[in-house]
Amino acid sequence: MRGSDRIEQIYGDVVRRNPGEIEFHQAVKEVVETLGPVLDKHPEYVEHKLIERICEPERQLIFRVPWQDDRGEVQIARGFRVGFSSVLGPYKGGLRFHPSVYLGIIKFLGFEQIFKNALTGLPIGGAKGGSDFDPKGKSDGEIMRFCQSFMTSLYSHLGEYTDVPAGDIGVGGREIGYLFGQYKRITNRYESGVLTGKSPEWGGALVRREATGYGTVFFTEEMLKVRDQGIEGRTCVVSGSGNVALYAIEKLQQLGAKVVACSDSSGVIIDERGVDLDVLKEVKMVHRQRISSYVDHHGDSKFIANGNIWDIPCHIALPCATQNELGEEDARRLVANGCIAVAEGANMPTTPQGVRVFQEAGIAYGPGKAANAGGVATSALEMQQNASRDAWTFEHTERRLREIMQNIHQNCFETAEEFGSAGNYVIGANIVGFRRVAQAMLAFGVI
């Protein structure tokens, strides 16, 4: 059987062995359907069942997280940590706190993380974790007690050489602080490298907070460069208004673009003069309010409850909220309205049908595992600084981030060409990431 024929069978087995985990199925399909030509070139990958092994996590932890709310009532959440692959380094990947979290979402994210982390070229394996705990509307005290309970259940499985979590949706600097404090207290060790995304005041790296959003814009810049185009003067829309979105907007503005819209799960704001980032940061980061509050500060802007951000004409669209937020119709509308580039700050935000529309239209499309790898790459730089008890400057770290994004872009671009799919970053990213993991797996034998 040819390697490429094996793919259908492997995917069928994944669906059968992991019933109901639809996001995980989607993420696996998107990767394995591009690997046929690699398997044909490397029969040893087939013989050693590398794809089958990659699709089965090395370990999966599911645990109870009991906590008490401010009224003294006991609440029970479910915690997860899935270590997918540790052939390139310790398990590495964020924690997501959102009510939609279940095993299928954690596994899709962990699976993506294997290839993303390999693409960075840095020594990190792939993992993801989180909880179905809903942080919205919770007091600081409730968030702290939840994080402490979460860490109490998880700490014995972590370590700078074992598993190093960071943030994702619903987990930012505040939560990492509570998690790190509890880890330190339980273990009696100031083990800085056990978590990334820490505050630079106590062991974190400068630029980690900005890194995912900045990196996504750097990747966009590279995609446009090979087409003799640029970011300056472009009209942009960025979905979401969390960590990734805010710093994507910041870098777009620094590079001379105009961001006319962003969103949260309640709706969209449109500000034709360009989003006022200071106001937006105040609303979202300081007061943790809904995005509609932005309009109270900017009378000329509009809030559209449950609006669709992809209806707004733009040259550059950056989906930075969540999975499957941009579908086929959205993609068609973006293309019809003159969009020239889409780079994914979020993980798997475009549906497979949406991706096909972008590819058929020939616009620049950067998939998340390449375009948003700047966050985890800077986490690896944070681990490096922790291991050497050093702290780099903002400028030095941002330069490193930019070089990493340029390298990722170049590797994906050249590899897509090598496999006869010039300009297809999906194929480029999947193959570069997979080959790195595959070579290490072969070297280690059957483990």
Number of residues that make up the chain: 447
Longest CA–CA separation in the chain, Å: 65
Q: Does 322 bind ligand NDP (CB under 6 A)?
A: yes
Q: Does 34 bind ligand 2IT (CB under 6 A)?
A: no
Tokens of 27: 């993420």
Q: Shortest Cβ distance from residue 34 to ligand 2IT (Å)?
A: 20
With both helix axes pointing from N to C terminus, report the angle between 103-119 and 373-387 in degrees, rounded to the nearest 10: 70
Return the residue of 79, 93, 345, 366 that touches ligand 2IT, per CB under 6 A.
93
Return the number of the residue (50 or 210) whose C-beta is nearest ligand NDP: 210
Distances in whole angstroms, Cα of residue 401 to Cα of each of 112, 128, 380, 406, 422 = 20, 22, 11, 9, 25
Which among 88-96, 182-190, 217-225, 402-410 is the span making contact with ligand 2IT, rule CB under 6 A? 88-96
| Cα–Cα distance, 311 to 320 (Å, whole number) | 16
Return the residue of 347, 397, 411, 430 that touches ligand 2IT, per CB under 6 A.
347
| Cα–Cα distance, 55 to 70 (Å, whole number) | 41
The burial of 311, by beta-carbon neighbours within 10 Å (0-12 exposed, 13-18 middle, 19 or more buried), is given as middle
Q: Shortest Cβ distance from residue 396 to ligand NDP (Å)?
A: 20
Residue 93 binding: pick among ligand 2IT, ligand NDP, none (C-beta 5-8 Å cut-off by kind) = ligand 2IT
* 281 counts as catalytic: no
**Helix/strand/coil percentages in the chain, nearest 5:** 50, 15, 30
Return the residue of 30, 163, 264, 398 that touches ligand NDP, per CB under 6 A.
264
| Cα–Cα distance, 94 to 109 (Å, whole number) | 9
Q: Shortest Cβ distance from residue 306 to ligand NDP (Å)?
A: 10
Binding mask 161-180 for ligand NDP (x = CB under 6 A): ------xxxx-x--------
CB distance 33 to 5 below 8 Å = no
Rounded to an integer, what is the distance from CA 194 to the centroid of its chain? 19
Q: Does 240 bind ligand NDP (CB under 6 A)?
A: yes
Q: Does 196 bind ligand 2IT (CB under 6 A)?
A: yes
Q: Shortest Cβ distance from residue 94 to ligand 2IT (Å)?
A: 3
| Cα–Cα distance, 364 to 158 (Å, whole number) | 39
Dihedral sign, CA of 213, 115, 84, 184? Answer: negative
Q: Which residue is nearest to ligand 2IT (CB)?
A: 94
Q: Shortest Cβ distance from residue 368 to ligand 2IT (Å)?
A: 8
CB distance 231 to 256 below 8 Å = yes
Q: Shortest Cβ distance from residue 366 to ligand NDP (Å)?
A: 13
Return the residue of 92, 145, 234, 258 that touches ligand 2IT, per CB under 6 A.
92
Binding mask 380-419 for ligand 2IT (x = CB under 6 A): ----------------------------------------
Q: Does 89 bind ligand 2IT (CB under 6 A)?
A: no
Dihedral sign, CA of 93, 98, 103, 105? Answer: negative
CB distance 268 to 238 below 8 Å = no
Read off φ and ψ for residue 130, nearest 5 degrees: 155, -160
State the CB neighbour count (10 A cutoff) for residue 23.
Answer: 22
Q: Shortest Cβ distance from residue 445 to ligand NDP (Å)?
A: 32
Binding mask 44-83 for ligand 2IT (x = CB under 6 A): ----------------------------------------
Q: Does 23 bind ligand 2IT (CB under 6 A)?
A: no
Q: Does 117 bind ligand NDP (CB under 6 A)?
A: no
Would you tell me which residues interact with ligand NDP (CB under 6 A)?
94, 167-170, 172, 212, 240-245, 264-266, 320-322, 345-347, 372, 375
Active-site annotation, residues: 128
Would you tell me which residues interact with ligand 2IT (CB under 6 A)?
92-94, 116, 166, 168, 196, 347, 375-376, 379
